[in-house]
A and B are shown apart, each in its own frame.
Chain A
Amino acid sequence: MLEYHRPASIEEAVGILAGRPGSVVLAGGTDLVPAYRTGRQSVRGYVSLRGIPGVGELGVGPDGLVIRPLCTHAAVASHPEVWARWPGLAWASQSVGSVQVRNLGTVVGNICHASPAADTAPALLTLGAVVEVRSLQGTKDVPIAEFFLGPGRTVLQPGELVSAIRVPPPAGLFTGAYVKISPRRAMDIAVVGAAVSLRLDEDGTCLDCRIALASVAPVPLLTGAGAAVVGRRLALPHDGTWELVSGVHDVFAQAGQLAMEAARPISDVRASADYRRAMIPVAVRRALWQALARATPGEWVIREGVQA
């Protein structure tokens, strides 16, 4: 007989998880409910989070972003401050499923499900997010880059749940983007997903660039391909707006190439490994251009004589 628990606090929830092995945390249910109903996952009981006060609230403040376990993709993607400060994440949440799915599905659930195709995972990887793990033993922080172990597998042990994802505040001229390549624009899973973050100084030189990928490895993959962009001048401030410099295309192409070399794609029902490999530089370049456009609004005239 399937059990259903509705604890009133996170403490109570981890107590149930510890005392009743085989129980699973139920957040949005978009993965878990059909998996259970079709027999793909056996469940002793659900531990619902819906009775816990505040667990669906998004924390946006000077210390950064706190994504609590019932925060939906819709909540993230409809928050103007998330778009302004962490646009890559807002973009990723917006690209999940459909309106109906985004109103249910949560960011925490997205990473706990640990699909290599999870849209928000690469965005969180580029943002240096920290996963707060709770159990009866207490709270520990896991950097998101160490969270994923394989398809459907994370570092979470029985009795543990994710009580929050914390995203540090952006520093300086910071921007990001997420580009998803899939046959349909909605209700589809990424064939390749690319998230980027860019931090520029006031002269348009890149101080930091991170590039992470979905659907090209057993886990969401943080690549080192951002190194091709760091230290390069990508734009020039000019009369309160921005101009481009020569050679940015080449810099972004290099980053795309490095990202492709870092990937370990497989062939499956959605795409061949070759196709995925070919699309990685495309997705990375597009994401970099979108991020740059967001950070440096202007007419984008190329200033000849200045090289990236």
Chain B
Amino acid sequence: MSIEITLTVNSREYKVDVEPTRTLLQVLREDLALTGTKEGCDAGDCGACTVLWDGRPVSSCLVLAVEADGGHIETVEGLASEQSLHVLQEAFLEHGAAQCGFCTPGMLMSAKALLATNPNPSEGEIRAALAGNLCRCTGYGKIVAAVKEAAKAMAAGTITASAPVAMADGTPAERVVVDHRGDAPEGDGANA
């Protein structure tokens, strides 16, 4: 029972045929080749698969792709423009807020959602917003510092967290049809 769905991912519209067993995470990684979003626990515990669904951070491993039909999804691939990194990415770089990097895409997406609704978060608010994103390397200090720094940079400049994520260079959103009728890859379709 394959179902055609439409997903707008990073301002680009995709039509995909999916089985109702498949998660949004699998479709992003395996069908759309957007492997920036990581699969950690695949059970909603670790936050590595965090994407924004209609602006809200969710664990994409807990969302069946069919459920997101018609939705707007933002992934880490949508953060940087052709010209520059997102202010959060710059801050993560500067602070060394990544070691193995596996949690980083999820951290960035959670932080982006936080700053979009709360441009000047306290340390407690940052930690609460990132509590669902596990990092086993950094001890979180540098990540929290990076988010603080990004908030400051946004307040000082004209950059906003809610600025268009993908097509920041003005490229019009294009319509891509990905057809995986009947041969949806399982597992290692497109590993990072």
Binding site for B on A (CB under 8 A): 1-4, 6, 26, 28-30, 33-34, 36-38, 45-46, 48, 50, 74, 97-101, 103-104, 185-187
Choice from B23, B45, B47, B113 contacting A33 with Cβ under 8 Å = B23
Assign chain B's interface to a size class: 20 to 34
Verify B21–A37 contact, CB threshold 8 A.
Answer: yes
Q: Which residue of B lies closest to A5 (CB)?
A: B20
Verify B62–A4 contact, CB threshold 8 A.
Answer: no
Verify B132–A186 contact, CB threshold 8 A.
Answer: yes
Verify B1–A74 contact, CB threshold 8 A.
Answer: no
Choice from A28, A48, A100 contacting B132 with Cβ under 8 Å = A100
Interface segment, one of B52-60, B81-89, B97-105, B147-155: B52-60
Given contacts A1-B1, A4-B1, contact A100 B20 (CB under 8 A): no
Q: Which residues in chain B, 1-37, are within 8 Å of chain A measured between CB atoms?
A: 1, 3, 19-21, 23
Q: How far is the CA of A25 from the CA of B63 in the complex (A)?
A: 14
Given contacts A104-B62, A187-B132, contact A99 B113 (CB under 8 A): yes
Verify A4–B20 contact, CB threshold 8 A.
Answer: yes
Q: How far is the CA of A34 from the CA of B41 in the complex (A)?
A: 10
A198 to chain B: closest CB distance in Å?
26
Choice from B20, B47, B113, B132 contacting A46 with Cβ under 8 Å = B20
- Residues of A near B113 (CB, < 8 A) are 99
28 of the cross-chain contacts (CB-CB < 8 Å) are A2-B21, A4-B3, A4-B20, A4-B64, A26-B64, A28-B62, A29-B62, A30-B59, A33-B23, A34-B61, A34-B62, A37-B21, A45-B20, A46-B20, A48-B66, A97-B44, A98-B132, A100-B47, A100-B50, A100-B57, A100-B62, A101-B132, A104-B58, A104-B59, A104-B63, A185-B131, A186-B128, A186-B132
Verify A38–B43 contact, CB threshold 8 A.
Answer: yes
Report which residue of A36, A74, A101 has the largest number of chain B beta carbons within 10 angstroms of its beta carbon: A101
Q: How far is the CA of A48 from the CA of B21 in the complex (A)?
A: 13
Q: Which residue of A lies closest to B21 (CB)?
A: A2
Given contacts A3-B1, A99-B57, A101-B44, contact A33 B131 (CB under 8 A): no
Q: Does B67 contact A (CB under 8 A)?
A: yes
Known A1-B1, A99-B129, A99-B132; 13 more pairs at CB < 8 Å: A28-B62, A29-B64, A30-B59, A46-B20, A48-B67, A98-B47, A100-B47, A101-B44, A101-B62, A103-B56, A186-B131, A186-B132, A187-B134
Verify B63–A187 contact, CB threshold 8 A.
Answer: no
Q: Does B42 contact A (CB under 8 A)?
A: yes
B100 to chain A: closest CB distance in Å?
20
Q: How far is the CA of A100 from the CA of B37 in the complex (A)?
A: 14
Q: How far is the CA of A134 from the CA of B133 in the complex (A)?
A: 37
Binding site for A on B (CB under 8 A): 1, 3, 19-21, 23, 42-45, 47, 50, 53, 56-59, 61-64, 66-67, 110, 113, 128-129, 131-134
Q: Which residue of B lies closest to A51 (CB)?
A: B69
- Residues of B near A3 (CB, < 8 A) are 1, 20
Q: How far is the CA of A104 from the CA of B129 in the complex (A)?
A: 15
Q: How far is the CA of A101 from the CA of B60 in the complex (A)?
A: 10
Q: Which residue of B lies closest to A184 (CB)?
A: B131
Q: Which residue of A lies closest to B1 (CB)?
A: A1
A5 to chain B: closest CB distance in Å?
9
Verify B110–A33 contact, CB threshold 8 A.
Answer: no
- Residues of A near B1 (CB, < 8 A) are 1-4
Q: How far is the CA of A177 from the CA of B53 in the complex (A)?
A: 31
- Residues of A near B58 (CB, < 8 A) are 100, 103-104
Q: Which residue of B lies closest to A4 (CB)?
A: B20
Q: How far is the CA of A48 from the CA of B128 in the complex (A)?
A: 30
Q: How far is the CA of A48 from the CA of B53 in the complex (A)?
A: 17
A123 to chain B: closest CB distance in Å?
20
Given contacts A4-B20, A34-B43, A103-B57, contact A26 B132 (CB under 8 A): no
- Residues of A near B134 (CB, < 8 A) are 187
- Residues of B near A97 (CB, < 8 A) are 44, 132
Q: How far is the CA of A48 from the CA of B64 in the complex (A)?
A: 10
Q: How far is the CA of A167 from the CA of B8 in the complex (A)?
A: 37
- Residues of B near A1 (CB, < 8 A) are 1
- Residues of B near A38 (CB, < 8 A) are 43
